[in-house]
Amino acid sequence: MAYGAIFPLWRAAAEPQWSAYTRHPFVGMLAEGTLPRAAFLHYLVQDYLFLVQFARAWALAVTKADTLAEMRQCAATVHGLIVDEMRLHLQVCAAEGIEEAALLAAEERVETLAYTRYVLDAGHSGDFLDLLAALAPCVLGYGEIGARLLPEAAGTPYRPWIETYGGPDYQAVCAGVGSLIDGAAARRLGPAPEQNARWADICARFRTATRLEAAFWDMGLRP
């Protein structure tokens, strides 16, 4: 998936980390249905804790936006994360007998702490675009994985996960975030972003966040 003009450039600049993330064994096992249930549930719990921090990071983006349009889109994303995506996790977890209180009482793993606090720090230490570059791998990588697996992964118990991220609602979110990134980059890097003095630093932020996504999958395999 392209999700705009800037994301493909960031993704290309983040190899081999991008493939290590999106083609991670955890993803393969999700698609084939060979992922142990314990690993999936462990991942879900940590991903819920991740989402809480991720919503905080998108709220931080509201405080760092330069235009009302940027503010509005980030605020809508906070809303979507807190209301929709977290409820989805709650439903799946509840079906497995894990209540929200148990989710919130779980201890954040080192990989969860590293990823989420790195994203928040990208916002605090840099500007709006630095923060978007750290937010992008999660949002758009899940979209890319979902879209890739949707047509092929039929016989897996993890089909609902794939349909969530490969389905039209989440793909529309990705298109919107891709467009937000393009606008934010145009505003701050100009018409030739790759020639901009900040380009290498921005790509490095995307790459580090991508590396931390792969570490998150690693952690998922160690319940």
Q: What SS3 state is found at 117?
A: helix
The verdict on whether 138 is a catalytic residue reads yes
Calpha distance 71→76 (Å, rounded) = 9
The verdict on whether 213 is a catalytic residue reads yes
Is residue 55 within the footprint of a copy of itself (CB under 8 A)? Answer: yes
Q: Least distance (Å) from a copy of itself to the CB of residue 200?
A: 10
Calpha distance 207→223 (Å, rounded) = 26
Residue 144 is given by DSSP the state H
Residue 106 is given by DSSP the state S
Q: Least distance (Å) from a copy of itself to the CB of residue 126?
A: 5
Q: Which is nearer to a copy of itself, 127 or 182 (CB)?
A: 127
Using CB under 8 A, which of the segments 32-40, 144-152, 161-169, 208-216 binds a copy of itself?
208-216
Contact code string over 175-194 relative to a copy of itself, x by CB under 8 A: -----------xxxxxx---
Q: Which is nearer to a copy of itself, 32 or 194 (CB)?
A: 194
H-helix segments, 80-198:
86-95, 100-105, 110-125, 128-149, 159-166, 168-189
Q: Least distance (Å) from a copy of itself to the CB of residue 17?
A: 11
Q: Least distance (Å) from a copy of itself to the CB of residue 170?
A: 20
Is residue 23 within the footprint of a copy of itself (CB under 8 A)? Answer: no
Using CB under 8 A, count the residues that bind a copy of itself.
Answer: 50
Q: Which candidate in 93, 138, 174, 203 is catalytic?
A: 138
Residue 147 is given by DSSP the state H
Calpha distance 10→61 (Å, rounded) = 19
Rule CB under 8 A: which of 76-135 touch a copy of itself? 76, 78-79, 82-83, 104, 108, 110-111, 113-114, 117-118, 120-121, 124-127, 130
H or E element: which one contains 74?
A: helix 68-79
Q: Cα dist. 27→24, 35, 101, 176, 218 in Å? A: 5, 9, 28, 24, 11
Write the DSSP string, 14-60: TTTHHHHHHT-HHHHHHHHT-S-HHHHHHHHHHHHHHHHHHHHHHHH
Catalytic positions are: 138, 213
Residue ranges in contact with a copy of itself by CB under 8 A: 52, 55-57, 59-60, 62-66, 68, 71-72, 74-76, 78-79, 82-83, 104, 108, 110-111, 113-114, 117-118, 120-121, 124-127, 130, 186-191, 195-198, 201, 208, 212, 215
